């Protein structure tokens, strides 16, 4: 089974439409390999970043599950996960617990168009984060959502999925 995060089985011409996503081939792609700055102020600027990320994810239709701010050139610790036509935001996320049970799945990433790698990840995680208002939250996840949390948190820590390839 293939699992794609802000990535996809989209035809190449759709990638041109989503020109704000930074790929590993771009001159400014070094942002993908640097840890993101922690969010300290939950203001209008952060909400604008969230709106931009939401627009990108929703324009990808069913192709993208998650998107991290560095993928659109913003070094801030926020990622988005799409649930149908709804998008949820995770600020300053930290994975607090990973299950010992793991599985290998094929993943993709919009920052690596049409490239897929087999990645071993924990089946269950506990994520501690803040919402867009700065409120502390905890979320347990398993399966594809746990995988998405790991993939997107890696982005915020400057780790791209090719570094985890098997």
The 66-68 sheet, strands edge to edge: 66-68, 78-83, 86-98, 124-130, 136-142
Looking at the chain, which runs of residues are DSSP E strands? 2-5, 66-68, 78-83, 86-98, 102-109, 112-122, 124-130, 136-142
Please tell me the pTM assigned to this model. 0.86
Beta-carbon contacts of residue 43 (< 8 Å; ≥ 6 apart): none
DSSP 131: -
Q: Which two tokens stand for residue 134?
A: 């700065």
Domains and CATH numbers, the chain: 2-164 (3.90.45.10)
The predicted pLDDT at position 8 comes to: 35
pLDDT above 80 for 2: no
pLDDT-based confidence at 60, cuts 50/70/90?
confident
Active site positions, annotated: 152
φ, ψ at 29 (rounded to 5°): -70, -10
Q: How far is CA 94 from the centre of its chain?
A: 13
pLDDT digits over 5-42, tens only?
443 333 333 333 334 899 999 999 999 999 999 999 99
């Amino acid at each position: 089974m293939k699992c794609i995060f802000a990535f996809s089985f989209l035809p190449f011409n759709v990638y041109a439409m989503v020109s704000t996503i930074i790929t590993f081939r771009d001159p400014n792609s070094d942002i993908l390999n640097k840890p993101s700055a922690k969010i300290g102020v939950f203001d209008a600027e952060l909400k604008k970043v969230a709106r931009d990320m939401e627009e990108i994810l929703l324009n990808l239709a069913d192709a993208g599950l998650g998107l991290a701010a560095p993928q659109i050139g913003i070094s801030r610790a926020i990622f988005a996960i799409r649930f149908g036509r709804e998008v949820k935001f995770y600020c300053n996320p930290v994975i607090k617990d990973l299950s010992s049970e793991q599985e290998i799945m094929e993943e993709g990433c919009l920052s690596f168009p049409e490239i897929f790698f087999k990645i071993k990840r924990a089946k269950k995680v506990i994520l501690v984060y803040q919402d867009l208002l700065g409120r502390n939250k905890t979320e347990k996840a398993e399966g594809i959502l746990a995988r998405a949390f790991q993939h997107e948190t890696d982005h915020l820590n400057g780790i791209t999925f090719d570094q985890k390839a098997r």
